[in-house]
């Protein structure tokens, strides 16, 4: 096994050196920028489709569309799709995977690749999702229906604004490619708590929760989707919290004690209490 480990280390070292040399060329920087732009556009399309998919608005196939399968098969397929998204989205965001990926592709497009693969997994979910049309609730009162539709759009608005409150284009990989194209040194992360971040630590996830659950017409399939994604959001946030504590240290620990994670007021208790 020693020679295999040694060989992999040499390959990684040489490969990374070659990638750095290639990444320094003007052509490579332009290709990286074009690639990241395409990944970002794929994300925009996927995000817009997700809104229509969940809200049954202006898309070819929404969460309640498609041929019906037997319930056990539909539940199994839908749970597998949610699990696939959760594993991919969480595993690729971990430090160990990022280090491995940095030995394969330039670091300037690492985030864009993550965004692209996440978009592809979501597109797969849209395609393979099995409708489960049993009605859980159906609100027909005009004012209540309008309220729920308003909350649906409010949730997406919170999620979108939350990305711009930190750095939207860095979050989705475009800024890294632009910096590399301009030969600009990336700035070190700065801990900030603008607007929504003073209420919850992950307002992006709060926006998603509101959007997933606020509907005047809840089917069993929509309920399964909302429940599965809610579980994933809390699990994913816990993994993300560990990375943020490692990055910002005691300052982020104090933030955990002062502000709720996803739901307002759900603060992290100090150890020993």
% of the chain exceeding 70 in pLDDT:
88
Average pLDDT over residues 104-128: 94
Q: How far apart are the first and last CA of the chain?
A: 47
| Distance separating alpha carbons of residues 138 and 152, to the nearest angstrom | 15
Tell me the C-alpha distance between 62 and 59, whole Å: 6
Check: CB of residue 130 under 8 Å from CB of residue 219: no
Summarize pLDDT for 19-76 with one digit per residue, the tens. 445 566 888 889 999 999 999 999 999 999 999 999 999 999 999 999 999 999 999 9
pTM: 0.88
The count of C-alpha atoms lying within 13 angstroms of the C-alpha of 183, restricted to the half-sphere facing its C-beta, is 4
Q: Closest Cα partner for 68 from 215, 219, 262, 203?
A: 219
Taking each helix axis from N to C end, the angle separating 95-102 and 110-128, rounded to the nearest 10 degrees, works out to 110
The answer to whether the CB of 175 falls within 8 A of the CB of 233 is: no
* Mean pLDDT confidence for 173-189: 88
Segment 193-207 shows an average pLDDT of 95
Indicate whether 9 pLDDT > 50: no
In total, the chain counts a number of residues equal to 273
Reported confidence tier of residue 273, pLDDT bands at 50, 70, 90: very low
Nearest to 253 by CA among 242, 262, 264: 242
**18 class by beta-carbon count within 10 Å (0-12 exposed, 13-18 middle, 19+ buried):** exposed
DSSP single-letter state for residue 266: -
Calculate the average pLDDT of the chain: 89
CA 38 vs CA 31, 48, 147, 211: distances in Å: 11, 15, 36, 26
Model confidence at 12: pLDDT above 50: no
């Amino acid at each position: 096994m020693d020679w295999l480990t040694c060989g992999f280390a040499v390959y990684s070292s040489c490969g990374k050196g070659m990638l750095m040399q290639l990444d320094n060329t003007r052509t490579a920087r332009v290709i990286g920028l074009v690639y990241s732009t395409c990944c970002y556009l794929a994300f925009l399309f996927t995000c817009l489709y997700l809104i229509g998919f969940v809200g049954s608005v202006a898309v070819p196939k929404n969460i309640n569309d498609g041929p019906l399968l037997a319930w056990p098969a539909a539940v199994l397929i839908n749970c597998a799709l949610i699990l696939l998204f959760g594993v991919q989205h969480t595993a690729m965001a971990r430090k160990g995977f990022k280090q491995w990926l940095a030995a394969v592709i330039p670091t300037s497009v690492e985030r864009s690749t993550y965004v692209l693969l996440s978009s592809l997994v979501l597109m797969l979910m849209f395609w393979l999702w099995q409708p489960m049309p049993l009605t859980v609730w159906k609100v027909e009162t005009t004012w209540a229906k309008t309220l729920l539709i308003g909350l649906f759009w409010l949730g997406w608005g919170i999620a979108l604004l939350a990305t711009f409150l930190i750095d939207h284009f860095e979050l989705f990989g475009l800024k890294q490619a632009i910096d590399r194209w301009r030969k600009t040194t990336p700035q070190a992360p700065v801990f900030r708590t603008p607007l929504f971040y003073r209420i919850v630590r992950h307002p992006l996830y709060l926006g998603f929760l509101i959007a997933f659950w606020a509907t005047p017409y809840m089917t069993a399939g929509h309920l399964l989707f909302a429940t599965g994604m809610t579980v994933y959001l809390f699990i994913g946030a816990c993994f993300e919290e560990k990375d943020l504590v490692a990055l910002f240290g005691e300052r982020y620990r104090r933030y955990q004690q002062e502000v709720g994670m996803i739901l307002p007021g759900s603060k992290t208790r100090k150890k020993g209490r």
